[in-house]
Structure 1
């Protein structure tokens, strides 16, 4: 069989579609650049990672301030600049580690299209496909380039990811096929006519497959916070530099140092970096468990999920099946021969048909004349055979679809299904299968046998389901199998509601009515692909965050529409292509790890956000009070850098990566601002009070400024340390050590002479230091009271 190409550069070129291209043909096209070279990456490039971590709004602000301090000196006041360099470096290193992990996993999980070359079908990477390659298609395969169908055996293609139209399109030789579409039934082959960037939706597929930092509540919340900070920072800096210039008798360098000291702590510079760091470490940890995270926020998203929709086959059960019984219903019919013959009609059999192939060898003398492939919407497959000069049509599929309503066969099938077995009905019918549009007529069918198959439960399914139940995450088992059979499997796994499964054919089309049924039931059988999608939408309409697991083409639409799609590594290429998380080792038990990583990221970033924003709040308040009262700003940049080291930067690094099992909640920005703002105001007020008392006590002269600053620094450190102690709860041995180490570090600075000199800190006398401690204790008590009151209110609101 040959076909003439339609490419503009070689109008007479002839391609043997049965053999495909030769090695010379491939080399010729590679030399001309006719290769599918669209760079589909699983992660950002090294350059993008560096730019994202270095060229940020706040790095620019801090960088400018650092350059200013270097100009006016001394170097001690520029220490904050080195902290930014260190934080940025850590962020880049961790993201590069995450990139390495993701790229390795992406190669492992990459689907390889099957291409005919030199008469042999070989798997190749998508970027190795060249123009005019003959690419084979089977159920679940995705079109990676544009082309023209050359062979089709009941080939049905879903183009919904490109056109939005959910109905499968029947393809015949000569029909176009677009990149991004996927096969839902049948098999065939097509010739690549447009590759690389010329292919339709090539850019769409590149963006959809890229490891992205798309919007999430966590990142969106932090972005909102940073926007508020920017609005406050600029006018405060202007007012502060003017006031300090006047107070310091036109001493420009001193005014600049005091302004920088007031502005730098307003910037939560490490917050974005720590968020990226926490996500990157999460990716690395999940990579070790063979979880490919295709979008960063998926880690966060799954932690927020409150409903998990599970496809039974491939998720709760293992992929393989065994035929346990073939119950003949008509002794005159050649049941096993028919089953064996049907097994030869599909070059890529699903698990059920593979079990039948293993149990029933192919007979001789049966020649296939036409086939109708299995599809999730139809729920049966079939073929017409030439047997001893006679045409025989056999169908195999769901008993509910092939038997007449009320037939006793359905009762037998239901009884078997109630034991957790999968049951298929084999029928012989007089209607040919050539006309795929013809509706099935049960009256013309002759039931031949019930095929009973046993599914193997995943050994880890029960523990995983128990974990979700313990975490308050509802599970919905949604399957295309018989509802009673699905209920029996669910019952073995201890899923609540398994005793009253729902047949999806009885579900209403109205979304609200469907949502009511979904809220009150757990197990659903005979669900069509479109119904899976509708069920996800119905749950989302009730405010649920929905995760969908699946491995087949029938799950693609639901995986795409769910908040989080989770695909099995051994599943169809289409399912893996639209899912945010791919379990490469097909282990359902990996899901709790993903949930745990998400909760760790969300909970820990919320913790450290409180530290950073408490600092922002007290920095803003101090700047405003200094301008209003018209006094010198109490700190130099080195003092606030020191405070940031011991109360924010170092502890935040450890807290951001610590274990955290707190359940994720919405309203991140509101919660952080409600706790951090009051704590910051109390800390700032206490610091300013101690500073003003010290000015009065020491005399408020240029010579006493160091002593006054030391009192303010001690007061602010003690209050900030208590905020850290609150945020570190619940205490573990390492958290206690962390808080203690920060206190010891500060004590070392104010007691060692050369460190005192370096940071210009020295406590004078005993009266004011103890006064500072007293003010800090009162402030700490107020912070504790306010924190508990707000905590109780937020608990009630939740």
Structure 2
């Protein structure tokens, strides 16, 4: 046990056999900045802003401010989450005691080398893989690795794995694998690549933006060419007009609003001790229809309590139990439960103790004047006499209780080998403490149509009973995972039938998530251990407990700081509010996007000056979309999130855009033919476009309430003021047009309000036919 000497340690350091821990799978700060700064959206806005500035009109480049705002929000949120999670990481500060040059030395875990001899004591975390040496035995909690909550006894020659804990006894082990070669590192390595969450809403918006960007280049070049060549404009005026058409096609405000709304949601959720690592995570959880939970630490608090004691003889056991509860050095969960039941130490003198061992499954003590007492597994204590109480024990076990036997024999010379005259005195029933919030949280998800699946490394019978007590629907439908097939298609049939899965390995957890997704479910998975990493990575939304491992927190999208899943209903409600409201305001933005696309194509063909300048589109966009959409996006909304986001917004925004364009082009051409100049005709076009935009605002704001009515009146007042006040006329290049054109504009806006619903119905029917084909 003398361990390595200094020369041997240096040799291993030179060979790289050092316990350097692999970095957790999260993006670095430079990667976060790069991803948020250098993207197509920012690049397009930057180029357009440069063109407008070169053309001599910096005020028309105001639209580019969205680049900075959107980028800062994205970077801030992701860096904030990263810092929070790194503060949670305590593994790097953990030390270990190793034998070197014949002495005990305290070292940092990253100073451990291969072949080091490490001393382990009760409560120590095992920081590298190895083999037990020496004659001592100790017990290890491997629940973070396997999900199995019962301690495992380790003796000479047994393997032990990093990430587990010593819960009883002490001993030595020789390090065999360090750093990236350890079991934990290899398991986490399968999930090392940073995962981008699958967001239906963002995917739909990105799909629209990608399509529009493909159109922007040819349409933009054609528009600029026609503005220069055919309408006789100078290049700088043509450039400004062309940029106006292009920026109108890019729904930059929608991208910004999405980030802002998610950010507001993130700040709100932080009040419920929830860290959101990726902005769209709340959206995905709002869409989830299957939630996979572990038993220990999720449904239960991870600690035991004494539920009941049934006497089997006439002994008064209170004094005995109080003494036994405080007699042993190892404070395992069972012992803690007994100590919580019997707070005060007994007054009986303890002559000798036999500590608990997983191989014996009992502990005992000789008490002065009271003989010897044993507490532990009934079948291990009574052996061939166990059949006398078997029925009572099994009856309690079916309730999910852990049953201990208190037994006695008269001699005061207890050893590890029990005599034949041991008599049963009492049955002690222990139960996992159900989290106080668990039943109400489960009931919430049941009412919301979310199916609950319990996936645990524990015995399926026990897990089923605990699930029943917590209120899990169909908890009686359980299965031992050792009977599950590896084929995902076969497994997908079984996951429909069963709600509780016990004895599940890490790879089986991943397969269960895959099987649920194979059945077209959106799956959320909670976890705290390394054994959950693969499943968390595979799930549509991974939810980690802060008390768990680094790797678990790194691959999850949500981290519950108080390790309590009762915060999830708040996350779901916040997600529903954001997604449903964003769908509403998406109709505003995309109506304007498709409107601008139609306008640009039409004015490429008719070769007339474009009816707007960029600054005028900024006015229309701010009054009818930008400002009101922010307030609409944070208003209360608890409706269930439905699939088909892209289809629904196209169903509204495309017919809106068509009406928008037809009436605006008609009014603009009428003004030009009536003898108005370009600036006056543009003023009429702004009037019509802004008025129709306000009509669309009314449509997406339904159902109306006092707040929405006030919001609409405020925007209407601000829009009218822009045409009246001299300062705003100058800023937005607006003119006072003859009164008759104002009357005609109001009439056109009213007509558009009547026609728009008709177009929506017609387009909806056409879209339905298209989807059926």
TM-score when normalising by structure 1: 0.75
| Equivalent residue number for residue 84 of structure 1 | 66
Measure the CA separation in 1 of the matches of 2:697 and 2:462. Answer: 54
| Equivalent residue number for residue 276 of structure 1 | 259
1:222, CA displacement in angstroms? 2.6
| Equivalent residue number for residue 509 of structure 1 | 484
1:191, CA displacement in angstroms? 7.0
| Equivalent residue number for residue 354 of structure 1 | 336
| Equivalent residue number for residue 22 of structure 1 | none
Q: Please, which of 624, 638, 650 is the counterpart of residue 673 of structure 1?
A: 650
Instruction: Answer whether contact 1:711 1:763 (CA < 8 A) is retained.
Output: no
| Equivalent residue number for residue 73 of structure 1 | 56
1:639, CA displacement in angstroms? 1.2
Measure the CA separation in 2 of the matches of 1:563 and 1:481. Answer: 25
Superposition pairs of residues 129-278 of structure 1, within 5 angstroms: 129-132=110-113, 153=138, 213-249=196-232, 251-278=234-261
Corresponding position: 1:727 with 2:700: yes
1:672, CA displacement in angstroms? 2.6
1:598, CA displacement in angstroms? 2.4
1:239/1:286 CA distance change after superposition, 3 Å: same
1:708/1:489 CA distance change after superposition, 3 Å: same
Measure the CA separation in 2 of the matches of 1:121 and 1:738. Answer: 72
Instruction: Answer whether contact 1:156 1:185 (CA < 8 A) is retained.
Output: yes
Measure the CA separation in 2 of the matches of 1:575 and 1:137. Answer: 25
1:425/1:472 CA distance change after superposition, 3 Å: same
| Equivalent residue number for residue 558 of structure 2 | 581
| Equivalent residue number for residue 3 of structure 2 | 3
1:562/1:122 CA distance change after superposition, 3 Å: farther
Measure the CA separation in 1 of the matches of 2:288 and 2:645. Answer: 16
Instruction: Answer whether contact 1:417 1:482 (CA < 8 A) is retained.
Output: no
Q: Which moved more, 1:555-564 or 1:323-332?
A: 323-332
1:791/1:177 CA distance change after superposition, 3 Å: farther
| Equivalent residue number for residue 412 of structure 2 | none
Q: Aligned to 2:10, what secondary structure does the other structure show?
A: coil
How many residues are matched?
Answer: 729
Superposition pairs of residues 394-793 of structure 1, within 5 angstroms: 411-413=391-393, 415-416=395-396, 422-424=401-403, 450-477=427-454, 495-497=472-474, 501-505=476-480, 509-510=484-485, 518-519=495-496, 522=499, 524=500, 528-529=504-505, 535-551=512-528, 558-559=535-536, 561-570=538-547, 579-698=556-675, 704-787=677-760
Unmatched runs of 5 consecutive residues or more in structure 1: 14-28, 162-167, 373-380, 429-444
Instruction: Answer whether contact 1:183 1:553 (CA < 8 A) is retained.
Output: no
Instruction: Answer whether contact 2:32 2:78 (CA < 8 A) is retained.
Output: no
Q: Please, which of 83, 87, 95 is the counterpart of residue 107 of structure 1?
A: 87
Q: Which moved more, 1:548-557 or 1:646-655?
A: 548-557
1:295/1:8 CA distance change after superposition, 3 Å: farther
Measure the CA separation in 2 of the matches of 1:736 and 1:136. Answer: 71
Q: Aligned to 1:698, what secondary structure does the other structure show?
A: coil
1:281/1:460 CA distance change after superposition, 3 Å: same
Instruction: Answer whether contact 2:97 2:106 (CA < 8 A) is retained.
Output: no
Measure the CA separation in 1 of the matches of 2:670 and 2:463. Answer: 75
Corresponding position: 1:61 with 2:50: no
Instruction: Answer whether contact 1:600 1:660 (CA < 8 A) is retained.
Output: yes
1:268, CA displacement in angstroms? 1.7
Instruction: Answer whether contact 1:618 1:683 (CA < 8 A) is retained.
Output: yes
Measure the CA separation in 2 of the matches of 1:554 and 1:340. Answer: 38
Q: Aligned to 2:3, what secondary structure does the other structure show?
A: strand
Measure the CA separation in 2 of the matches of 1:311 and 1:625. Answer: 59
1:734/1:110 CA distance change after superposition, 3 Å: farther
| Equivalent residue number for residue 23 of structure 1 | none
Measure the CA separation in 1 of the matches of 2:378 and 2:105. Answer: 34
1:149, CA displacement in angstroms? 6.6
Q: Aligned to 1:620, what secondary structure does the other structure show?
A: helix
> After superposition, what is the alpha-carbon deviation per residue over 1:116-170, rounded to whole angstroms, capped at 9, x for unaligned?
359999999xx97434487788999987667777688466979999xxxxxx999
Measure the CA separation in 2 of the matches of 1:566 and 1:175. Answer: 33
Measure the CA separation in 1 of the matches of 2:307 and 2:468. Answer: 21
Measure the CA separation in 2 of the matches of 1:467 and 1:208. Answer: 31
TM-score when normalising by structure 2: 0.77
Measure the CA separation in 1 of the matches of 2:130 and 2:574. Answer: 42
Cα RMSD, aligned residues only: 5.3
> After superposition, what is the alpha-carbon deviation per residue over 1:770-794, rounded to whole angstroms, capped at 9, x for unaligned?
2222222222333334446778999
1:116/1:690 CA distance change after superposition, 3 Å: same
Superposition pairs of residues 33-52 of structure 1, within 5 angstroms: 36=20, 45=29, 49-52=32-35
1:708, CA displacement in angstroms? 0.9
Q: Aligned to 1:218, what secondary structure does the other structure show?
A: helix
Q: Please, which of 306, 310, 324 is the counterpart of residue 323 of structure 1?
A: 306
Measure the CA separation in 1 of the matches of 2:330 and 2:678. Answer: 86
Measure the CA separation in 1 of the matches of 2:388 and 2:48. Answer: 84
Q: Aligned to 1:2, what secondary structure does the other structure show?
A: coil
1:189, CA displacement in angstroms? 6.7
